[in-house]
Amino acid sequence: MNLKTMAERKHVSVMFDECMDGLNIKNGGLYFDGTLGGGGHSYGILERSAPNGKLFATDLDDYAIMRATERLKEFDGRFTLIKDNFKNFSAVKEDLGIDGFDGILLDLGVSSFQLDDRSRGFSYMATDVKLDMRMNKDNPLTAEKVVNEYSEKELKKILTEYGEERFAFQIVNNIVSARKIKRIETTGELIEIIEKSIPKKFKQDGHPAKRTFQAIRIEVNGELDGLYETVLSMARSLKKGGRIAILTFHSLEDRIVKNAFKELECDCVCDKSLPVCVCGKKKEINILTRHPITAGEKELKENGRAKSAKLRVAEKI
């Protein structure tokens, strides 16, 4: 796909205004977007921090970086795009030689460009493509390997924990039976197995393959691995008054972010019976969103991907 075609495709950033407001962007600030994706949020940060603000952003997808470079070219000289996982934030920050940021953004949703590119195997709406689901094409682990080579126990754990799939056992039992005959290689083959595993009366609430595809995608890309520690590291790298805003798209991610924020806001964890504090724990942030912000009615009508989005914001003290 050439750059002209890329520019013509519309990318809609989820809860754009809420994220920009949450970051409290100012001219001359230093900002980090850990999930570059379509570049929509990055564009907003650069626009609002003009004329002197700078942005550093990471993504694992070469295509995303190429597309964003084109999209952000009007801000040339004010942004640096790095091919890396945002979970390597500490190392990236050290390499950049930056002491602190004024704002950090994470949008943990899968890029709409990756979802819409049916050849990537993320979507259960395409039935004739290879099972892949890799955000980073250098990753040796694919969805096809997970489905065909993981043990029955491992698959049930993934579908139960990452997909919160109530019919995980039936789905996995049918996967194991099917792969004994031949490898499951396409999205369509997997969808067929899932559909026959779920009773008809439970197929009314969205696509029956949604939870299984989510679970396998999370496993392939290690989406939850190290997230808690990364959130702690990012928040601690903020300047005083700096903001961190994180968009999550399923309950497991949201719970991790919520708990990390709670730890950062906690002041002293000593047993209350002790006369003085001995733990040395100090409050590091103020949580600005006691309850996560969700998309408004207008956005929900225009962008179905905002339905499960939750935004949490905190400020360094």
pLDDT at 93: 97
- Confirm whether 48 is domain-assigned: yes
Residues 197 and 140 occupy one common structural domain = yes
pLDDT at 1: 39
Rounded Cα–Cα distance for residues 270 and 53 (Å): 41
pLDDT tens column, 235-247: 999 999 999 999 9
What percentage of the chain reaches a pLDDT higher than 70? 94
Out of 221, 250, 276, a domain closes at 221
Out of 158, 187, 221, a domain closes at 221
pLDDT tens column, 275-311: 777 777 889 999 999 999 999 999 999 988 899 999 9
Rounded Cα–Cα distance for residues 53 and 30 (Å): 6
Residue reference for tokens 């504090």 = 277
Name the residue among 230, 247, 237 with its Cα closest to residue 31. 237
pLDDT at 52: 96
pLDDT tens column, 198-234: 998 876 667 899 999 999 999 999 999 999 999 999 9
Residues 196 and 233 occupy one common structural domain = no
Residues 206 and 268 occupy one common structural domain = no
Rounded Cα–Cα distance for residues 67 and 107 (Å): 17
pLDDT at 127: 78
Name the residue among 21, 15, 22 with its Cα closest to residue 108. 15
Q: The domain spanning residue 167 has which CATH number?
A: 1.10.150.170
pLDDT at 112: 67
pLDDT at 3: 40
Name the residue among 218, 221, 283, 280 with its Cα closest to residue 253. 218
Q: CA 306 → CA 16, 148, 179, 243, distances in Å?
A: 10, 32, 35, 22
Q: What is the side-by-side strand order in the sheet with 285-287?
A: 79-83, 54-59, 30-33, 101-107, 238-248, 310-316, 285-287
Count of domains forming the chain: 2
Q: The domain spanning residue 286 has which CATH number?
A: 3.40.50.150
- Confirm whether 122 is domain-assigned: no
Residues 168 and 243 occupy one common structural domain = no
- What are the beta bridge partners of residue 186? 130
pLDDT at 149: 98
Residues of the chain with pLDDT under 50: 1-9
Out of 221, 255, 290, a domain closes at 221
Name the residue among 100, 88, 109, 139 with its Cα closest to residue 35. 109
User: Are 143 and 132 in contact, with CB atoms under 8 Å apart?
Assistant: yes
pLDDT at 5: 42
pLDDT at 9: 45
Residues 279 and 214 occupy one common structural domain = no
The domain of 286 spans: 3-108+224-316
